[in-house]
Structure 1
Amino acid sequence: MKLQILAIALLVCFSSFAQEGDKARLKAEKNAANLVYKANELLEEENYIEAEMEYRRAISKAPNKAVGAYNLANSYYKKGNYGEALFRTEEAAKNATTKEEKHRAFHNLGNILMQKEMCKEAVEAFKNALRNNPTDEETRYNFALAKECAEQQQDGGGEDDKKDEDKEEEKDKENEEKKQDDKKEDQDKKDEGDKDKKDGDKEEDENGKPKDDKKDGKGDDEKNKDQKPKPKPGQMSPQQIKNILEAMQNQEQKVQEKINAEKQKGAKVRTEKDW
């Protein structure tokens, strides 16, 4: 009998504690809802700083509720702070309990990912939104846009890789050309140095001028005088020209003698030139 009384007493205590806990939770959720409502009004007035503070207070009052994080994410989204908006929306999607809450969270998550040009991830977010509400036309439309964007990014990725490869090849070619130019420049400097060294090795006379092994160039003149110039192809040598002239003179002398002989006989003749 005593055990039964003790069990009943403990049950009453636990029930009382549970009721107190439920009351505290409901009170916190009510306070959080009021804070969210107040923050929404501030957000409409474009008072983003005060609105953010109220949303954060709401989250601290009811951290497991999606509404606070969801609305705070919306405030970040309107300011263009997509990084914070993404974090808070993911938090809201995690804490969402109803299909409607999950649909809204994943829908907004897809919009944020699109703003960050993460189209492939946005496709998955819109898929999750449609799983919770397949009849929402706006989500279906955004899903189609995200899918098209993801396909374009995938196709463009190959072109970007090809451009990168072309740039690498062009860079390698430029480096190779630069190496060749540097090598040629080094060779030119070396040749110039050898030439200066060769010129410096020549002996100088008393006037400081380079001294040749040949004296006054007379040796070359005498040697060149003895050597007969060779005719170029298609040209006659001086000796050939001399022979032709002598033959012409001899022929003219014969013709002249013939004319003189005819004159003595009184006959007229006509001379013809052979050239």
Structure 2
Amino acid sequence: MKQLLIYIFTIISVTGFSQDKDQEKERLEALKKANNYVYEGNELAVNDDFVSAEMAYRKAISKQPTTVAGAYNLGTSYYNEGSFTEALYRLQQATKSATSKEEKHKAFHNIGNILMKNNQCQEAVDAYKDALRNNPTDDETRYNLALAKKCAEDQKDNQEQQDDNKDDQNKDQDQDQNQDENKDNQDKQNQEEGDNKEDQQDKGDQDKKDGEDEKDDEGKPKEDKQDQGKGEDQEKQQPKPQQGQLSPQQVKNLLEAMNNQEQKVQEKMNAEKQKGVKIQTEKDW
């Protein structure tokens, strides 16, 4: 039984080793083919045959997806052709597959260049910093980092200026809106004052009309008419003389008539006396 277990273990070990050996062989063959395609692509790129070079690099990546050279060279080719979006994607792919600092440095350096082309200055600063972490002695990367920092500062200042201008514009708009609201309120107030004046004028006209209505047909106030009616009522309230008796007013009138008659008689008698005396009208000689 023990010998049987040893035999089975030996078979498994030999089989596992054989499989690992086959997989390593396949990996090496794929890497060799990928390197051949990269070499082919480099030759085509030197001859400015970008389309054929792109196909060769893509074949290299299909044979060995983790090949750094294929992704890096393909990204660099895209960069030279001005296809920055595709170039950025391939170089980022190369940074993930790179195993050496030099490979990472080159990939991050070119990523920084692409970001500068896209005016993504702050992102370029970060890329150049990653490149210097893998190779602090590269003066070209340092120079590009300084340019990226200056660009990022300028963009920040411009953005702040735009924000300030936007705030000022919003402030002016708010001020104009407040002025419009104040104007509307003033117009509303003026309208209300005008309406009040019209109401007061209408009320005054109505009072005047009511005063005129209180006058009678002869233009006299109703109060006078009421007083007149009151006088008439008082006269009505005075006792009327009974039949066969004179009223006080009639007695007064009768005495005045008698006095007038007596005065006329006296005047006539005085005239008769004066008539008997002869008045001398001429002088004697």
- Considering the TM-score relative to the shorter chain, is it more than 0.5? yes
- Aligned residues: percent identity? 48
> 1:126 corresponds to which residue?
128
Residue 78 (structure 1) aligns with? 80
Shift of 1:175: 8.8
Partner in structure 2 of residue 13 of structure 1: 15
Match of 1:35 among 29, 34, 37: 37
Question: Aligned to 2:69, what secondary structure does the other structure show?
Answer: helix
Which residue does the alignment assign to 2:67? 65
Q: Say which structure is richer in helix.
A: 2
Shift of 1:166: 4.3
Q: Match of 2:152, SS?
A: helix
Match of 2:24 among 16, 22, 25: 22
Counterpart secondary structure, 1:90: helix
Once residues 54 and 32 of structure 2 are traced to their aligned partners in structure 1, the CA distance between those partners, rounded to angstroms, is 18
Give the partner amino acid of 1:24. E
1:139 alignment partner, SS class: helix
**How far does residue 163 in structure 1 lie from its aligned partner after superposition?**
3.0
How many residues end up aligned between the 2 structures?
184
Partner SS state of residue 36, structure 1:
helix
Greater C-alpha Rg: 2
TM-aligned CA distance change 1:56 to 1:172, over 3 Å: farther
- Give 1:76 shift: 0.7
1:45 corresponds to which of 44, 47, 51: 47
Q: Which amino acid aligns with 1:102?
A: K
Matched with 2:151 is 149
Q: Return the TM-score normalized by structure 1.
A: 0.60
Matches within 5 A, 1:1-275: 1-168=3-170
For 1:78, the aligned partner's letter is: N
How far does residue 37 in structure 1 lie from its aligned partner after superposition?
A: 1.0
Shift in alpha-carbon separation, 1:170–1:95, aligned structure 2, 3 A: same
Pair 81,172 (structure 1): closer, same or farther in 2 beyond 3 Å? farther
Greater mean deviation of Cα atoms: 38-47 or 161-170:
161-170
For residues 16-74 of structure 1, what are the alpha-carbon distances to aligned partners after superposition, in whole Å with 9 as ceiling and x for unaligned? 11111111111111111111111111111221111111111111111012211111111
Give the alignment's TM-score, normalised by structure 2. 0.58
Q: Secondary structure at the match of 2:66?
A: coil
Q: CA RMSD in A?
A: 2.5
Letter in 1 for 2:48: E
1:94 counterpart letter in structure 2: K
Name stretches of at least 5 consecutive residues in structure 2 with no aligned partner. Answer: 185-285
Gaps of 5+ in 1: 184-275
Distance in 2 (alpha carbons) for counterparts of 1:47 and 1:177? 67
